[in-house]
Amino acid sequence: MRAYQQQAEIVRSEKLSDDIYRFTVNMADIAAGSKPGQFVMVRVAEGLDPLLRRPFSIHQVAKGGLVQILFKVVGRGTRALAGMQPGQQLDMLGPLGRGFAHDRPGQHYLVGGGIGIAPLLFLAKRMLKTVEPSAIRVLLGAATGTELDVLGEDFASLGIDVQLATEDGSLGEEGLVTELMASLPPGEGTVYACGPYPMLRVVAGISRKKGWECQVSLETMMACGLAACLGCAVLRRDMNGYVHACKDGPVFNADEVAWL
C-alpha cells in the first residue's frame, strides 16, 4: 500500500453542529487507493505549534479525487482546522493503516458512537457495491441529536436501516448505542464499530455473546501514522507485546487486542 503526501485544497467546509465540521478536500492520489477505515494525517498549522499532524478517518470518497473528513473540535488542532477556509491548502498524508474487512457473510452491523461515525458512511457505501441494503444495519449514538441528524439522513438516503440513540433522548432512543444492540438477533454477522474506547469494549463484549465477528477502529496518540515512531502501541490480546494502530490498525479484530 502506497501513501502520498499532498497539498490538497479545501473545496468545501460545512459546519454540521456547534463543534462538528465536514471538509471536502481535493486529493486525487490519496483518494484513489483509499479503503473504508483508513485514515489521513493532516497538518493543522503552518507554524510549529501545534506541531504534530492529526489523524482523521476518511469519511467519504467521491469522484474527481474528492475526499471528506468529518471532525469534532476537541482541542487546539481541531480548532485551528475548523478555522480554515475553502481555497486554503491542507498538507495531507494518506491513505494510512488497515481498514475494515467487509467481505464477510451474514448481517453487517455498523455501530458508531459520537464522532466515531465518521468512517462508517464510506464503509456502508463500499458495502453496497456487493450486498443489499437490507443486509446492513446502522446503529449510531451520540450525546445529543445535533451530532447525529445530518449523518443519520446520509445513511437513510442509501436505503439502509438506521437506528439512533442519544443520551439526552433528543433524537432516536434515549440511551447508549450499545443498548440498541441488545435487540438484534444473534447468529452469523459482523460488527464494524468505531467510537470511544469504553463503548468499543462493550461492543466487543456483546459481539462475543451474540456470536458476531467484531472489528473495531481504535484511536491512539499518533505522531507519524507510518509505523515509524512506534507511538501508537496497543496491547495485544495475549498481553505479550504491542500491535500498532497506524499499521496493524486502526481497525483491529476485537480478539487481537487486550481490553483494559
Residues in the site for its own copies, rule: CB under 8 A?
45, 47-50, 76, 80
Instruction: Name which of 137 and 244 has its Cβ closer to ligand FAD.
Output: 244
The DSSP code sequence of 5-69 is: EEEEEEEEEEE-SSSEEEEEEE-HHHHHH--TT-EEEEE--SSSSS-S-EEEE--EEEGGGEEEE
Instruction: Name which of 37 and 189 has its Cβ closer to ligand FAD.
Output: 37
* Minimum distance from residue 249 beta carbon to another protein (Å): 13
258 contacts ligand FAD (rule: CB under 6 A): no
* Minimum distance from residue 54 beta carbon to another protein (Å): 10
The partner residues of 123 in beta bridges, in order of sequence, read: none
N-term to C-term CA, the chain? 31
* Minimum distance from residue 218 beta carbon to ligand FES (Å): 11
Span 6-45, contacts to ligand FAD by CB under 6 A? 39
Residue 179 identity: E
253 contacts ligand FAD (rule: CB under 6 A): no
Angle of CA points 227, 196, 51, to nearest 5°: 45
CB 4 within 8 A of CB 93: yes
C-alpha cell of residue 117 = 461515525
Instruction: Name which of 27 and 184 has its Cβ closer to ligand FAD.
Output: 27
For residue 47, the partner it binds in its own copies, ligand FES, ligand FAD, none, with Cβ less than 5 to 8 A by kind, is its own copies
Part of the chain binding ligand FAD (CB under 6 A), chosen from 55-63, 86-94, 122-130, 207-215: 55-63
For residue 57, the partner it binds in ligand FES, its own copies, ligand FAD, none, with Cβ less than 5 to 8 A by kind, is ligand FAD
Part of the chain binding ligand FAD (CB under 6 A), chosen from 63-71, 124-132, 139-147, 162-170: 63-71
* Minimum distance from residue 186 beta carbon to ligand FAD (Å): 30
For residue 235, the partner it binds in another protein, ligand FAD, ligand FES, none, with Cβ less than 5 to 8 A by kind, is another protein
Angle subtended by helix axes 149-156 and 120-127, to nearest 10: 0
CB 233 within 8 A of CB 242: yes
Residue 116: DSSP 8-state = G
The residues that touch ligand FES, with contacts defined as CB under 6 A, are 222-225, 227-232, 244, 246
C-alpha cell of residue 33 = 487507493
C-alpha cell of residue 188 = 452469523
* Minimum distance from residue 181 beta carbon to its own copies (Å): 42
**182 burial via Cβ count (<10 Å: 0-12, 13-18, 19+):** exposed
Helix (H) or strand (E) holding 228: none
* Minimum distance from residue 50 beta carbon to ligand FAD (Å): 6
Q: Which residues bind ligand FAD (CB under 6 A)?
A: 39, 50, 54-57, 69-72, 74-78, 115, 118, 219-222, 250
